[in-house]
Structure 1
Amino acid sequence: MTNPWEEKVCKMAQTSLLQGKQFYCREWVFHKLQHCLQEKTNCCNSAVNTPSLVMNSGNNASVVSGKGAAWGVLLVGGPGSGKTALCTELLWPSSPTSLQRGLHRQALAFHFCKAQDSDTLCVGGFIRSLVAQICRSGLLQGYEDKLRDPAVQSLLQPGECERNPAEAFKRCVLLPLLGMKPPQQSLYLLVDSVDEGCNITEGEQTSTSLSGTVAELLAGHHEFFPPWLLLLCSARKQSKAVTKMFTGKCNYCHVCILMCY
């Protein structure tokens, strides 16, 4: 049965105009991504602690700790350099024998931010989309059961999710994922054009809530991602303030920058 909040999921954020088009070259990028995913899998077997995520629910506080270093991949290139094409090929491989044919099976969820569609830039819609995709993916058995709490369901409702996206992201995405048994293979969350909707310049302060945009939400909470989940984003190289959100936090986030020219 479909949850009421799923009716508000933005379908445009789950599509690409380049889907079905032939993709050429840049096989090295997919090899790099494969290596990063393998590193994530290896990381799950290590004993390095990540920061704890503390959640308050009434009078009770819960602390969930992940294991392994929080780091991701940032695809950086100029306009028209092929970032969206690469993300599209990763999710919908055009060749039946390509490396990406295997990589697309490790996609837990994805989101295409589009400047011409404000719905794809809505943080609340982004969160609801992730939750719906994770439920449908079948990659994490038991995830949907963790959403049955009425308090969690209420956070996904239109309006409430927009008012408090940070809380919704923690309670509906991060905490359930941190409570899951790690999958045999690492998975990834792909966000294309994460810099869309971010009207800030280098040196300018971002919002204090760290959740005003999709980029701020992810950068502000990336350290709490489970160690088996790779955050893969793309952004224009001109968006230095946005890329710095991820690359500037070296105390917890190691980011591989793949220049796409």
Structure 2
Amino acid sequence: MAQTSLLKGKRFYCREWVFHKIQHCLQEKTNNLSGVISTPSKQPPLAPGGSTSNPGTLTAGSAKSGSSWGVLLVGGPGSGKTALCTELLWPTSAQGTHRGLHQQSLAFHFCRADDSDTLCVGGFIRGLVAQICRSGLLPGYEEKVRDPAVQNTLQPGECERNPTEAFKRCVLLPLLSVKPPQQALFLLVDSIDEGSQLGEGEQRSSPGSPRTIAELLASHHEFLPPWLLLICSARRQNKAITKLFTASGFPVPAGANPEC
């Protein structure tokens, strides 16, 4: 998993409207924390948007479904989705640094078609847990995931056999039980459509078990705490992924942002 900018010293230009939109979404979530908009979040069961017609363009859409809503960045190959996600995490410009959005990053994940480890659902969950513990943004989280029963679900093999249980016990329930941060945070997953075709022919470890990171997040994002904004990017050509998130609370808005 990347820990430094994938731009490798290159400058990032334009796309300011995307950062403004994300900033606005985070502010709305922060207002929710302050009681300006009060909507209780759902608890996970104990048993287990935008579009564009030009491949070189990028659009973003967000939609609300109670307190669980997120941002889906959609664009064609080469439209700058990964570069934008990288700039969001490691700003290269003075304006980006001053904006400070990177300080609201709780965890991130870059899916790569040429690296099967980045497409593994179990590895994704373990990576999230490790990042959240290291971030120091949520006091009390690390203590909760130290529980032996929780740690058992994270073990290689066990996590892969039942990723739903691992995601629930190691990510969702601890996040819902810690004291909310003073400002909203975000979880970023770039190229979430990578690996979707691989998952189509795989045997599920258990009935209803998600085969891909996209399936895992689409079926559980409604249980994320109201202070956490889920940001995903995907290629516009992958209609299955767009439909997956549209059906699960990321409807494409009637009026998308101007293409850029």
TM-score interval, smaller chain? 0.7 to 0.9
Q: 2:149 aligns to what?
A: 151
* Structure 1 residues 255 and 165: CA distance shift in structure 2, 3 A: farther
CA–CA separation in structure 2 for the residues paired with 1:15 and 1:93? 11
Correspondence for 2:56: none
The one-letter amino acid of 1:23's match is F
Aligned to 2:133: 135
Q: Give the equivalent residue in structure 2 for 1:169.
A: 167
Q: TM-score, normalised by structure 1?
A: 0.83
1:247 counterpart = 2:246: yes
**In 2, Cα distance between the equivalents of 1:255 and 1:41?**
23
Inter-partner Cα distance in structure 1 for 2:218 and 2:132 = 20
Distance 1:194 1:232 in 2: 10
1:155-205 Cα shifts (integer Å, max 9, x gaps): 11111111100100000000000001111110000000000000189xxxx
**Map of 1:80-229 to 2, 5 A cutoff?**
80-98=78-96, 101-199=99-197, 209=208, 211-229=210-228
Q: Which residue of 1 aligns with 2:25?
A: 36
Structure 2 unaligned residues grouped into runs of 5+: 49-64
Report the CA distance between 1:55 and its aligned residue: 1.8
Deviation of 1:56 (Å): 5.7
Distance change (3 Å), C-alpha of 1:13 and 1:196: farther
**In structure 1, distance between residues paired with 2:92 and 2:237:** 29
Contact kept? 1:40, 1:228, Cα under 8 Å: yes
Distance 1:122 1:13, change over 3 A: farther
Match of 1:70 in 2: 68
Structure 1 letter corresponding to 2:218: A
2:248 aligned counterpart, secondary structure: coil
User: Cα distance, 1:68 vs. partner?
Assistant: 5.3
Residues 51, 90 of structure 1: CA spacing in aligned structure 2 closer, same or farther, 3 A cutoff? same
| 2:45 matched residue in structure 1 | 54
Count matched residues.
Answer: 237
Q: Which has the higher strand share?
A: 1
Q: Secondary structure at the residue paired with 2:187?
A: strand
Q: In structure 1, how many angstroms separate the alpha carbons of the residues matched to 2:168 and 2:174?
A: 8
Q: CA RMSD in A?
A: 2.7
Q: Percent same amino acid among aligned pairs?
A: 69
Contact 1:108 1:139 in 2 (8 A): yes
Q: Sort the Cα spacing of 1:200 and 1:110 in 2 relative to 1 into closer, same or farther, 3 A.
A: same
How much does 1:86 deviate?
A: 0.2
For 1:120 and 1:100, how far apart are their aligned partners in 2?
31
Q: Amino acid of the residue matched to residue 45 of structure 2?
A: V
How many angstroms does 1:249 deviate by? Answer: 2.7
After superposition, what is the alpha-carbon deviation per residue over 1:198-239, rounded to whole angstroms, capped at 9, x for unaligned? 0189xxxxx762521000000010000000000000000001
Name structure 1 gaps, 5 residues minimum.
Answer: 1-11, 58-66, 202-206
Q: Which residue of 2 aligns with 1:204?
A: none
**Aligned counterpart, 1:237:** 236
> How many angstroms does 1:16 deviate by?
5.3
